[in-house]
Amino acid sequence: MSTGHVLMGLLANADRHGYDLKHEHDARFPASRPLAFGQVYAALERLGKKGFVGATEVENADGPNRTVYRLTDEGRRELDDWLRRTEEPSPFVANPFAVKTTLALLAADRDTAIDFMDRQRATHLERMRELTRRKLDPDSSLSNVLAADFALAHLDADVRWLESALERITHLEQEVQP
Amino acid sequence: MNQAPSPNLADPAPSPHDALQTQDGRASAPLLTVRSAVYSYGSELALQGANLQLAPGEILAVTGPSGSGKSTLMLVAAGVLAPTAGQVIFNGRVISDDSEGERSRLRRTEFGVLFQFGQLVPELTAGENVALPLLLDGAKRQQARAAAGLWLERFGVADLIDVRPPDMSGGQSQRVAAARAMVTEPSVLFADEPTGALDTMSGEAVMREIVRVAREAGTGVMLITHDAKVAAYGDREVLVRDGTTNELSINLRNGDDR
For B195-205, the pLDDT digits (tens) are 988 888 888 98
| Residue among B210, B179, B206 nearest B195 (CA) | B206
Instruction: Give the torsion sign (CA, A133, A136, A140, A143).
Output: positive
CA distance readout (Å), A43 to A8, A18, B81: 10, 10, 66
Position B2 in a domain: no
Asked casually if ipTM beats, i.e. exceeds, 0.85, the reply is: no
Beginning with the edge strand found earlier in the chain, give each strand of the sheet holding A16-17 in spatial order.
A16-17, A66-71, A53-58
CATH of domain A3-84: 1.10.10.10
pLDDT by residue for chain A (178 residues), tens digit each?
789 999 999 999 999 999 999 999 998 888 788 999 999 999 999 999 999 999 988 877 777 778 999 999 999 999 999 998 888 777 666 788 888 888 888 888 888 888 888 889 999 999 999 999 999 999 998 888 999 999 999 999 999 999 988 888 888 888 877 6
Chain A contacts of B12, Cβ < 8 Å? 126-127, 130
Query: Which residues span the domain enclosing B187?
Result: 32-255
Position B228 in a domain: yes
- Widest pairwise Cα distance in chain A: 77
Cβ B223 vs Cβ B78: under 8 Å: no
Hey, which residues does B62 pair with through a beta bridge? B224, B238
Q: Where are the domains of chain A?
A: 3-84, 96-176
Task: Decide if A155 and B7 are in contact by the 8 Å CB cutoff.
Answer: yes
Position B103 in a domain: yes
- Give, as one character, the DSSP assignment of residue B158: G
Task: Decide if A123 and B4 are in contact by the 8 Å CB cutoff.
Answer: yes
Task: Decide if A163 and B65 are in contact by the 8 Å CB cutoff.
Answer: yes
**Surface-to-core class of residue B13, CB atoms within 10 Å of its CB (0-12 exposed, 13-18 middle, 19+ buried):** exposed
Q: Is B13 on the interface with A (CB under 8 A)?
A: yes
Q: Domains in chain B: how many in total?
A: 1
Position B15 in a domain: no
Task: Decide if A123 and B7 are in contact by the 8 Å CB cutoff.
Answer: no
Q: Is B201 on the interface with A (CB under 8 A)?
A: no
Tens of pLDDT, residue by residue over B47-75, are: 999 999 999 999 999 998 888 899 999 99
Position B82 in a domain: yes
Task: Decide if B2 and A130 are in contact by the 8 Å CB cutoff.
Answer: no
CATH of the domain at B79: 3.40.50.300
How many other CB atoms sit within 10 Å of the CB of residue A45?
12
